Amino acid sequence: MTNLRYGMNPHQQARVLAGGPLRVLAGTPSYINLLDALNAWQLVRTASAASGTVVAASFKHVSPAGVATAGPLDDVMRETWRVTEPGPITGAYVRARDADPKSSFGDVVAVSAPVDAELADLLSRVISDAVIAPGFEPGTLEVLARKKAGSFLVLEADPACEPPEWERRDIHGVVVEQRRDRASFPPGLPGDALLGLATVRYTQSNSVAVVGGGMTFGIGAGQQNRVDCVRLAVGKARTWWLRRHPVVRGLPRVDGMPRQDRLNWQIRLAEGSLTSAQEAEFTALFPGVSPVLPDPGPWESRATLASDGFLPFRDNIEHAATIGISHVVEPGGSTRSADVAAACAQHGMRLTHTGLRLFHH
C-alpha cells in the first residue's frame, strides 16, 4: 500500500492498494495523476501497436487533449514550440500538444517510446505536470526531476505488463466487475481511422475525434449528446486551422509576455471568443490588429471523424461537413443510420460502420 499526494481533491486522502504496470521515478502522484497516466499509457501503447510508429498523447482530466504519431511539423508548430527538425518522439509530442494547446496547459504527457534528451529538454520548457514512458535514456531523469522544483512526476511504464482480464470498481460500496475491453479494430482501416478509434477508446464518453495526417485536430469528450461532441471536435479542429491564418500567426510579440499568454490570445482570436473586456485588452496589447479575424473561407481538411458510439442523426454529419470531413468511422446501428448514410453520401464522405462501440468511463 502506498499513500498518494491526495485524492480527487486536496481534502481527500488516497492510496494505491496494489501495484501495476508503472514505477514512480520522481515526484509524488495524486489520484488524478495516476488516472491520467494509466489511461494515457494505454492509449499510446494501443495506438503505437496499431500504427507501427511512435505515438504521443497530452492528457487532461482523464481525456486526451491531443494524440499524434511521429510525422512532419508545419511552421506554426516549429514557431510555437521552438523546435526545428525534431526526432520522432519529440515530433509526436509537439504534434499532440499543438492540437489543443489551451487544454494541454499542465498536461500529463505519454509517449510510447523511451524519453530521449531532446524530449526531456522540451518538457523542461513547457508547462506540464507529469510524463509516463516505457523508459528514460541516460541523463533524462535528472533533467526532468529538477522540473517544478522537484515536484514534476516521472512514471515508468512496463510495456510487458498486461492488465488483468477483469477490471473492478467500487462505487458507493457497490463493487462491479467487467471484462477488459480487448476487442480488435476492424482490419483494413486507414491509419487516421485507427488513430481516431484508439483515441476515443480512452476518452471519456461520449467522444468524437477529428484526425488527419496522423494527428488529432480536435477531440470532443464527455458530452451527454453526440452532436455536442461533434460540434466541439469540429470547433477545435477549425481553431487549429485558423491558428495558421496570417493574422493569427503574425500577432505581434509583446515584451515580457509569456509564450502561453500569447498563444492564448492567438487561440481567442482564432475562436472568435473575445469578450468585450478582452477586446479592449486585445486592442491595447496589439494596436492596429482587428479583434475580428477576416473570414478565410472554408477549410477542406479531408480529415477523418471517429466516434465511440453511433451517430444518431444527420445533424452530426452536417457539422462535420463544415470542415470538409472525408471519412466518418462509427459503430452504426442507429434507427436513423440510413439518414446518416444519406447525409454522408450527399457530402461525399466515406462511411465505415465498425460494429464496435468504444464507451469509456
Report the catalytic residues: 60-61, 206, 361
How far apart CA 253 and CA 255 sit, in angstroms, is 7
- Cβ-based neighbour number of residue 78 at 10 Å: 14
Asked if 192 contacts 304 with a C-beta cutoff of 8 angstroms, the reply is yes
Asked if 47 contacts 54 with a C-beta cutoff of 8 angstroms, the reply is no
Q: Which residues contact 120 (CB under 8 A, 6 or more apart)?
A: 136, 139, 140, 143, 144
Asked if 326 contacts 344 with a C-beta cutoff of 8 angstroms, the reply is no
How far apart CA 220 and CA 200 sit, in angstroms, is 9
How far apart CA 132 and CA 130 sit, in angstroms, is 7
Asked if 217 contacts 315 with a C-beta cutoff of 8 angstroms, the reply is no
How far apart CA 263 and CA 46 sit, in angstroms, is 31
